[in-house]
Amino acid sequence: MKQFKVIYTELAERDLHEIYEYIALTLLEPIYAKKQSNRIINAVASLDQIPERFRLYDKEPWRSMGLRIMPVDNYLVFYLPSESKGIVAVIRIMYGGRDINGQFEKMGGYRWEN
């Protein structure tokens, strides 16, 4: 079985940091913030094996680019696997209740080469 290298984009790293800060500082739940962050990090790490097991995002042009979605509790991890490069790039990590399409429209020109 092929093993992939999992990487985070700057946006995804910022998303994870903002999730932690929101839970720890706004909701005043630092212990839960750490646990939630760890659950996301551990789930993302599991993408090193069979990253295609999660569904494709249903909006274009992202679907054609191969963007996939992995749910983790109330959050969604958006990632692009590249079989040829042996890499899984985590693009965004967002709360499931956010305007997902609006967030991707703001990214507009992002391109991924498989």
Q: Give the CATH number of the domain where residue 19 resides.
A: 3.30.2310.20
The structure's pTM equals: 0.90
d(CA 13, CA 93): 8
Instruction: Tell me how far apart the alpha carbons of residues 56 and 60 are, in angstroms, rounded to a whole number.
Output: 11
Q: What percent of the chain has pLDDT over 70?
A: 94
Dump pLDDT digits (tens) for 15-50.
Answer: 999 999 999 999 999 999 999 999 999 999 999 999
Range of the domain at 101: 5-105
Q: Does residue 46 lie in a domain region? A: yes
Across the range 89-107, mean pLDDT stands at 85
| Residue 17 within a domain | yes
Residue type, 19: I
Is the residue at 89 inside a domain? Answer: yes
- List C-alpha distances in Å: 83 to 31, 44, 52, 105: 37, 17, 10, 26
